[in-house]
Amino acid sequence: QKEVEQDPGPLSVPEGAIVSLNCTYSNSAFQYFMWYRQYSRKGPELLMYTYSSGNKEDGRFTAQVDKSSKYISLFIRDSQPSDSATYLCAMYSSNYGGSQGNLIFGKGTKLSVKP
Amino acid sequence: DADVTQTPRNRITKTGKRIMLECSQTKGHDRMYWYRQDPGLGLRLIYYSFDVKDINKGEISDGYSVSRQAQAKFSLSLESAIPNQTALYFCATRNSGGGDTQYFGPGTRLTVL
């Protein structure tokens, strides 16, 4: 079993739809969770960052972490064509030295929002 | 100016050639990373460095080497390129201070013929 599983899609939705992107993980030591957005031919850029369980909202984006289920989600409300990109989840267990601090990435979900 | 820069942005080379990809950062971060990205395989860590004297292998280091010339510079070398090293390569930086995250460069598209 991979440490982080993410459905690669592709996912195609109409403009204005609510999008739900998800990752599951196996390592219960993960504490820090991130979502990156990657446009075609660009480097990933940080979108959301959460620590431990709970929700975090930033504009149209909501990140949700359920550590008991080892499941994280990213919700996009009122999706726009400009949201079309690949979304990667990432997580790590500790920032205190060693490889535990290295980010573990999901493979990414490709999202297309149609006008 | 971009905080993390990579050169070249695109490179086509032939099997057996030695290739160097360079990464520079102005963020003042101590940690630097090299990844490759392949369709269906996601981002895979090649090498990482916590400071100039601390370099570590990632999950796919075979066929690659690195050099951390200064805190701001981290280069990746392919000693004898092979076609299955054709991929998108990303450099990333990160601060060892608690809670910070990782910042990526724009990528280098490498094609080995």
In degrees and rounded to multiples of 5, residue A13 shows phi and psi of: -135, 155
Chain A residue with minimum CA distance to B2: A43
**Which positions in chain A touch B103 (Cβ < 8 Å)?**
46
User: For chain B, first and last CA: distance in Å?
Assistant: 33
- CA B55 from chain center: how many Å? 12
**Which positions in chain B touch A95 (Cβ < 8 Å)?**
96-100
In which band, very low, low, confident or very high, does the pLDDT at B25 lie, cut at 50, 70 and 90?
very high
User: For chain A, first and last CA: distance in Å?
Assistant: 37
Q: In a 10 Å sphere around its CB, with 0-12 CB exposed, 13-18 middle and 19+ buried, how is residue A92 labelled?
A: buried
Q: Residue A64: what pLDDT?
A: 96
* Cβ contact A107–B42 (<8 Å): yes
Q: Residue B61: what pLDDT?
A: 95
Q: Which residues of B47-84 are buried (b: 16+ CB within 10 A; e: fewer)?
A: bbbbeeeebeebeeeeebebebeebbebbbebeebeee
Residues of chain A below pLDDT 50: none
Per-residue pLDDT of B53-96, as tens digits, reads: 999 999 899 999 999 999 999 999 999 999 999 999 999 998 87
Q: Which A residues in the span 43-82 are in contact with B, Cβ-Cβ below 8 Å?
A: 43-46, 49, 51
In which band, very low, low, confident or very high, does the pLDDT at B8 lie, cut at 50, 70 and 90?
very high
